[in-house]
Chain A
């Protein structure tokens, strides 16, 4: 890398460490920063927006060169970002966009969560063909934006397909154990699982839990019940290797890399980066060398 970011002080306000994916994002960000010689100030908000705002204010008071934020929620950033703007500190959003005037941040590096859900849904639509298929859904935390958007995208993909019906939908709080518990309940409620043809989980962790519940019920995940989920964490590839998971949509934990690149270009050459840098929502199936993917990701800090 060029000199550009060497010695720059950049604050990073992370949501928390609620999942393996989040931990991976943190460690990738730290690694990227280290590789570029950035002095990264890290602040964990423990899932609270107010803590993120405090952190950003703290960064401003400290006079950092730039701020990265992974916003916990889409709303409520205008005031504090205005403050950052007045202090002349560029802000880059990670993971998701926010509802605020676009001039308040330099750029946003994010995935399209609705698209993630849609990709997952489209895979399912393509795979079941015309067969009658009852789908159950494991939602993320009620009210969280990935849960809302991934549900929406998935439903868009299923819209108009009469043979695919979403029969049950409950929250598994993005965790393995709740995913397992909810799936257990679904299986009991749907005639021992015979009425379920596929499960769609808003993240891989819940899918891993669901897979165990399916196995415990004496069914075969991956064939008796199809499993499709989002995130592409290592453990879901392990499940694919075992033939127990069918598809996952990647959400890359490397949001910081493009963000740093954009900052560097902005500082070095004054180029305004494009406002929305959308990361790829790549679909992985057992055909995509799951063992290799597993090995590649294992070290990333998931």
Chain B
């Protein structure tokens, strides 16, 4: 087996093990309903984390995704409720705006030589601020299209539901896996993460790739925003606060190195599911106070990363 697949395998095993452990404590967690919820409830996070994976693979970071999600929900709501546009038109506009936003950030990162951390931090302030300027208040969306989408799902045996948003996430992962591992663009992303100088000398179009990466990340954050608005039928400037950190954690738990160049989109999926698992377990348990919730989330994050380090240790490489 390809050695580089090992972290992926390890993460998957850790997930299965953790799930078994959770089920042994809370038997009710073993149901298609819970599994369906995993997909639906984490759809927006998963989609955003896919974009984050590309960014991190290229050696950057995108702190703006949560804010872009929030902004998109508000924009979609404004377009539908105030301007009376059809949701599909609203989605298209919102996705274009988000993509352009990301492209501008990517251009700033490349041409101004400012670290992505800072550019996307400014982007985060801008998107959050822009959302609250559009409408500080939350806007409910009432549209037959929304109700129709919400009511369409595939009923799984056992009462679980595979919803539209869940399916969108699965589709995004499928496409992203191909994009990352089977296209030239994907290779270029990994190349940038390996060494930007070498990549440039080897003929990777650095500017175009950088801009595309951040545009893709913001596009997916926008799509996550669309999903979020479908999920809640509302737009709200404070939606998805801090989701960037969840996404980063999911990517890292999924085995992608923050320094760039190593990792898998599929690992991110497991990372997202692991986070969903932790939260669901805490809800099922129902005895943790607010502060213990935070502590336990932190400790579990630590344990997953520690486990991974141990697996990595087993596969030493020359430094």
- The interface residues of chain B lying within 8 Å CB-to-CB of A76 are 138, 140, 231-234, 236
Segment at the interface with A among B3-11, B28-36, B51-59 = B28-36
> Is B125 engaged at the interface, CB distance under 8 Å to the other chain?
no
The main secondary structure of chain A at its interface with chain B is mixed
Complex Cα spacing A12 to B275, Å: 21
**Contact across chains for A26 and B236 when beta carbons are under 8 A apart:** no
Check: A156 CB closer than 8 A to any chain B CB.
no
Chain B residue contacts of A26, Cβ below 8 A: 289-290
Q: Complex formed: what's the CA distance from A76 to B181 in Å?
A: 37
A265 contacts partner chain B, Cβ-Cβ < 8 Å: no
The chain B residue with its CB closest to the CB of A149 is B137
Chain A CB count within 10 A is highest, among B31, B141, B239, for B239
A57 to B283, CA, bound (A): 9
Q: Are B228 and A50 in contact (CB under 8 A)?
A: yes
Interface size class of B (residues with CB under 8 A): 35 or more
Please give the residue numbers on chain A whose beta carbons come within 8 Å of chain B beta carbons, in ascending order. 11, 14, 16-17, 23, 26, 40-44, 46-51, 53-55, 57-63, 73-79, 99, 141-145, 148
Q: Of the candidates B41, B236, B237, which one forms a contact with A53 in the assembled complex, judged by CB atoms under 8 Å apart?
A: B41
Asked if B187 is an interface residue, CB under 8 A from chain A, the answer is no
Complex CA gap A14/B293 in Å reads 12
Residue with the highest number of chain A CB atoms closer than 10 Å, among B31, B137, B286, B291: B286
Which of chain A's residues has its CB closest to B242's CB? Answer: A48
> Is residue B284 within 8 Å, beta carbon to beta carbon, of the partner chain?
yes
- Select the residue from B45, B228, B233, B287 with max chain A CB neighbours within 10 A: B233
Closest to B77 in A: A75
Bound: A141/B136 CA distance, A: 10
Cβ contact within 8 Å between B41 and A50: yes
- Among all A-B residue pairs, the 9 with the closest Cβ atoms: A76-B232, A41-B286, A75-B234, A58-B283, A17-B290, A76-B234, A44-B290, A75-B140, A143-B136
Residues on the A chain within 8 Å of B289, using CB: 26, 42, 44
Interface centre among A46, A51, A57 (most CB of B within 10 A): A57
